[in-house]
Structure 1
Amino acid sequence: MTDKMKTVCVGRFLIDVPEEAEIELRQARIHGFDIASFNETEEEFQKRVADREAQIKAKPDYLGGSKNMESARDVKTESGLVGKVFIHSRTVAEGTQGNGLGGVERYRDEGISTEAVVHGQGISIDLFYENRALERIEDLPSLVNQLVANPDNRIPTEPGFCMDRVYVRDPLSADQREQLMMFGRLPGHPDVEFMFIVSAGMKPDAQGVLARNEAADARLSIAERMRITRLREAPREIGGLVGEELAELVVEENEARGHSFWWEVNGTENNVFVPHVVFRMSTGNGNRKPVPSSLSDGAALGLWDKISSSIRLRSAEPGANKPVEAPTTPLGTYASAGEPCPESGWWLCGDGGNGIGVLGGQRQYIKKGDRMPQALLLPPRSLWEKMRGLQPSFEPTSPTFWKLVDKRIQKRVPPSLPLALPVSAATMAVASSGVNLNDENHVSVGSFAVTGAPCPASGWWRCEQSHALDGTRWFAQGALLPPATFAVPPGVFGGSASAPKSIQRRGEWQLVRLADSQEQADPDDQA
């Protein structure tokens, strides 16, 4: 999904999204003018302008007369846009009001609508402001002259503010309050939506997203709070902008699991390059009701990190706007059992505690790409179990959550305990196993097989239980794959020197290299 990305210009920013993403740029506004752009032929444009001019003239003015159109001037911009600017529909409000000193005074407020329709390169651009102050009438012709048609939404090579199929050349000041929204969807994952909002010249909020969310959580009931799992909650700097990040897993009332991601920069009131910025992504969006997320927790976090990490200010320098690579997975990232591990490192198990241990330890080293394990929990032993040297165990019913807490590399060492051996093909009735030994060429790298199944092909197979001692082992075709071997903490089966130091559980194996003999190198031992 993120193998191929495309870059979108949003205001003064660039953001990389999956190539399949459907993007819309909406609600563009500068200096109070609503700006819309769309495809239109020259002939269609000329007819629409004539119709609009006639419509304005036909409307009576505020006195009931025929002077509703006060000005209609032709324009031709430096970038080649042509069209008209209309000044019309004056409004007047007058009367008396208290002056605060016990007396009354007369007042008269006037406003007027300013409107521009221009066209170029097959694109029409409409600007409109209703009831604008009379002294601001000339703001519109000045803004129109800064417009540049951009039919293919290419990234401009000059400073300015990007919108849909058009951009505005600088200079623009913060008090012109440029703003734009980008909405995105993924056709292959229709429940996934994201939104990017930039607004300059806004007074910063007194509270950031983390403080607002904390206040909102305080109003929830205990049952409602239990449906929310906080994945991230911390300041985060992206593209030189310091903001706050909030990531949550939410279980809705219909038991649909979804994700909510939010990054926000409070911005400044006087700098167009540090505006108020909001980037949001959510999963589990259905038609009028939540649906189960089409992305696993790890996949959702990975997509969020990939897109959000690409946000950066656009440079007018040629070649400076290449897509950026997302950084490595940050500490604090969560992943759940069964998902591919997003980053090699030490992961903290979310299960266990309060006297309940975890087989392999509460902290376990898991390699990137390995499947996150389901925890095997070790509850406290009864006196009878201690006397018999038994250790009860159970697996939680819900997927285990793991949290990345350390990225230091674990040195690979040979297993300290004997591993379970496969049952060789020579000691079993191959004919009755249902395995066709001539099918080895049809087994591809990446294939999976489980404990007790005949090995489909000779080669190196990696144990998918990441906290097992097995690692990558060579098995001959037709041999029954062995169980995975796990070390147990000292004393679990009693203090006797002969007490078992390991246990064996059903495991899953993945083929990582075809090899006719064990002499061909273990892939994990190669640089």
Structure 2
Amino acid sequence: MSTQPGRSLGSRLKLVWIVLSLLGGVWLVRIIQENHMKARIAEMPTKTVCVGRFLIDVPKQAIISFGRTRLAGWRISVDYDETESAFKTQLLEKEKELRGQKNMKGWESLESVTEIETAGVSGKVLVFNRKWAHHYEFGERVETTSAAILGFARTQGVSFQFRADYRDTKNVPGLVQIFKQLRTRDGNKIPTEPGFCFENSLIADPLMASQSESTVMFAGLPGHPDLAIALSTTAGLKIDRTLLQRDADGNFRQDYSSAIHNFRLGERTVNGFGGQELMDRVRERSGVTGHDFEWEAYSKKDSVFTPKISLEMSTGHGRPGGPVQSSLSDVEAIALWDKMLSSLRLRPTAPSN
């Protein structure tokens, strides 16, 4: 029985056309879905957060917290819930506790108490737990000594603690001056006074780059427990190796090239601040994938307005446990990243007095 070549060829062409149509339909659906995802992220309501000298817009439902904050060698913590009565009680109890302790030479640990009552700020600075040590320079023994310093300050219903474990007591007047520059603020309002933001607080200028003001903001999104966002800033630093140089120093990208898909790797200027961007999708051994995005600005050591500032966003974090599948698609993760990073800008301020 003879076949009909024309009919056979026509059937094949029809089949190819059907397959191409199906593939085209799938591709079109994917494009529509991705555009919908981008639009959803673009239209997402945001709120502005003040971090150091900068502002950044994050999703309105984001849960914000702050990590370590430092200035001039002092570790700073804030308590917005403590009452005036509890603050005073804490001061008395801490002073009593230290008077009952001994330093390494067996002397009373508490050396001095400086009362603070100035510029709307009340509190105390306690010097205690002195330590002695020595080292050798050019064969000569050099004696050194330092003490722990703990500062308690309260202003406008907010309590602050400033702490350093090894400081010279000559730093106490500088700490008292910082107390005078403390401000509290409504977290929903962006301050106009020049200074350094952390949590719902501000330390007003003048501040110098050599004081190395530093803080970090963390953000998370409800419904996305695997997502981590962090914006950190530290003044007075000059980074010797850039983000991309440090990335190239390691062998991770070469050793695990099959597990890494790079989206971007290069220079990116954000609102006048030059920097470098690194954006990867990483596939774990378990098969799940997550994202690892980072941008870091070029810093200058001599200005508080050109700090080491870095934005990081990653997905796929198990809480607790090992890596999990990212709750954001590639398109969603990139859109959210671009939305936040493009909003990072220097906080405008009123002229300083």
TM-score, normalising length: structure 1: 0.56
1:127-170 deviation line (CA, Å, top 9, x unaligned): 01111024333221111111112354632120000112321000
Partner of 2:127: 87
For residues 366-405 of structure 1, the aligned pairs below 5 Å read none
TM-score, normalising length from structure 2? 0.83
State the partner residue of 1:309. Answer: 342
CA contact (8 A) 1:37 1:165 kept: no
- Tell me, yes or no, if structure 1 residue 209 matches structure 2 residue 243: yes
Matched-pair contact (CA < 8 Å) for 2:253–2:260: no
**1:488 aligned partner:** none
Structure of higher RCO (CA pairs closer than 8 Å, 6+ residues apart): 2
Distance in 2 of aligned mates of 1:3 and 1:317 = 30
Pick the aligned partner of 1:180 from 186, 192, 215. Answer: 215
Q: Is the 8 A contact 1:245 1:263 kept in 2?
A: yes
**Pick aligned residue for 1:11 from 48, 52, 55:** 52
Q: Aligned residue for 2:195?
A: 160
* Per-residue deviation, 1:186: 0.5
The answer (yes or no) to whether the contact 1:123–1:165 under 8 Å persists in 2 is: no
* Secondary structure, aligned partner of 1:144: helix
Separation in 2 of the partners of 1:307 and 1:92? 49
Gaps of 5+ in 2: 1-40
8 Å contact from structure 1 (residues 153, 166) kept in 2: no
Q: Note if 1:241 corresponds to 2:282.
A: no
What is the aligned-residue identity percentage? Answer: 36
Partner of 2:301: 269
| Structure in which a larger fraction of residues adopt helix | 2
Contact 1:40/1:124 (8 A) holds in 2? yes
Say if 2:318 is the partner of 1:286.
Answer: yes
Q: Would the alpha carbon gap of residues 153 and 42 (structure 1) be closer, same or farther in structure 2, given more than 3 Å must change?
A: farther
- In 2, the alpha carbon distance for the partners of 1:317 and 1:65 equals 50
Aligned partners of 1:292, 1:61: CA distance in 2, in Å? 52
- 1:296 is matched with 329
> Does the 8 Å CA contact 1:110/1:134 hold for their aligned counterparts?
no
Which residue identity is paired with 1:231?
F
- Rounded to whole Å, the distance in 2 between the matches of 1:191 and 1:125 is 32
Contact persistence 2:115–2:125 (CA under 8 A): yes
What residue is the counterpart of 1:47 in the other structure? Answer: 89
Q: Secondary structure at the match of 2:231?
A: strand
Counterpart of 1:420?
Answer: none
Query: Residues 153 and 164 of structure 1 are in contact (CA less than 8 Å); yes or no, is this contact kept in structure 2?
Result: no
Give SS of 2:102's match. coil
Whether the aligned pair in 2 keeps the contact of 1:71 and 1:87 (CA below 8 Å) is yes
Task: Give the Cα–Cα distance (whole angstroms) in 1 for the partners of residues 44 and 168 of structure 2.
Answer: 51
Aligned partners of 2:194 and 2:350 also within 8 Å: no
Counterpart Cα distance in 1 of 2:118 and 2:345:
30
**C-alpha spacing 1:292/1:305, structure 2 compared with 1 (3 Å):** same
Taking the TM superposition and a 5 Å limit, the aligned residue runs for 1:68-107 are 68-78=109-119, 80-94=120-134, 97=136, 99-100=137-138, 104-107=139-142
Give the SS at the match of 1:237: coil
What CA distance in whole angstroms lies between the structure 1 residues aligned with 2:171 and 2:125? 14
Cα distance in 2, alignment partners of residues 134 and 117 from structure 1? 16
Please identify runs of 4+ aligned residues in structure 1 that moved more than 3 A. Answer: 151-154, 217-220
Deviations 1:110-131 (A, max 9, x none): 1122221111333110001111
* 2:63 is the alignment partner of 1:28: no
**Cα distance change of structure 1 residues 201 and 304 upon mapping to structure 2, 3 Å threshold:** same
Aligned residue for 1:53, secondary structure, equals: helix
AA in 1 matched with 2:93: D
Q: Which whole-Å deviations, capped at 9, do the CAs of 1:298-323 have from their partners, x for residues lacking one? A: 111100000011100101149xxxxx
Unaligned runs of 5+ in 1: 319-527
